[in-house]
Amino acid sequence: MARLKTLLTGTAIIVCVFCFNAHASGVSDLKSDFIRANDLYKDSQYAQAIVIYEAILKSGYASGNLYYNLGNCYFKKNELGRAMLNYERALVFIPGDSDLRSNYDYLRSTLNLGAKDSAGGRGALWLDRISQAFTIDGLTLFLALLFWIIFFGIAVAMFYPRFRMVLKPWLIGLGVLFLCGGGILFRNIDQFNQAAIVVSKEAEVKFEPAQSATTYFKLTEGEKLQVLELSGGWLKIKRLDGKIGWMADAALERVNQ
């Protein structure tokens, strides 16, 4: 029995070491592919770089820098809708990156998207700016930490009454901050799950999900939409100015892939 335990333990260690080495080797290969794609981009071989970047994404690895570089490749190829799509995906990871923000704003200006996106009013615009300053993961961690601080403060106030008057305004303030942060988090998650970008040069939006239906309005490349419903090969979408209609799903791609 002792020999069997030793054999099993040794086998388990070998398997763990093998899996670790395989994982490390896989990460190293992906890093090499990423560097190779970057070199191809520098040599203006954008199509080849895109193939490698997309292969890395299909392997299950994603990052803000990867999406940013992929967006730059599509921008150089003049596929502006797909450039916008990948910049939007990069913003989920690195919303505060200055280079990304600069390219994103320049592309929006090139596609003349500013006026359409601000139709929700100044209040909605400011709320969007506040929301975009935080990543979903970062905001989740912040709220988790804030929750435990509030929990600890309540526990102290319950067991040590002399601290209640001091802690009360702090706990109220932290509670309000927690609720506001939770609202922003749910807004970000909802918008991320529904967001899509028009990747075709132009797309028609119909009153009904049928090719023979009357055209309601048209969309241009790079516009950001909300996907409300799926019916066959048609999507019910909401433009950022509030207009709702149906369009073919081939004309756009979701940000949350």
Residue 181 sits in the same domain as residue 202: no
Residue 188 sits in the same domain as residue 239: no
Residue 155 sits in the same domain as residue 244: no
The candidate with the shortest Cα–Cα distance to 59, out of 95, 88, 31, 79, is 31
- pLDDT tens for residues 95-136? 888 999 999 999 999 998 865 444 445 555 566 666 666 677
* Averaged confidence pLDDT in the chain: 81
Residue 103 sits in the same domain as residue 172: no
**Backbone torsions φ then ψ of 225, nearest 5 degrees:** -130, 170
Q: Is residue 124 part of a domain?
A: no
Please tell me the distance from the alpha carbon of residue 121 to that of residue 23, in angstroms, as a whole number: 49
User: What pLDDT, on the 0 to 100 scale, is given for residue 135?
Assistant: 73
- pLDDT tens for residues 207-245? 988 888 899 988 889 999 888 988 888 889 898 888 899
Residues of the chain with pLDDT > 70, as a percent, come to: 81
Q: What is the mean pLDDT of residues 148-163?
A: 90
User: What pLDDT, on the 0 to 100 scale, is given for residue 108?
Assistant: 92
The count of structural domains within the chain is: 3
Residue 11 sits in the same domain as residue 82: yes
Q: Is residue 119 part of a domain?
A: no
Q: Is residue 116 part of a domain?
A: no
Q: Which domain holds residue 57?
A: 2-111
Q: Is residue 25 part of a domain?
A: yes
Domain with residue 234: its CATH number is: 2.30.30.40
Q: Is residue 118 part of a domain?
A: no
Q: Is residue 122 part of a domain?
A: no
The angle at the Cα of 113, spanning 109 to 117, to the nearest 5 degrees, equals: 130
- pLDDT tens for residues 61-104? 889 999 999 999 999 999 999 999 999 999 888 888 899 999 99
Please tell me the distance from the alpha carbon of residue 56 to that of residue 52, in angstroms, as a whole number: 6
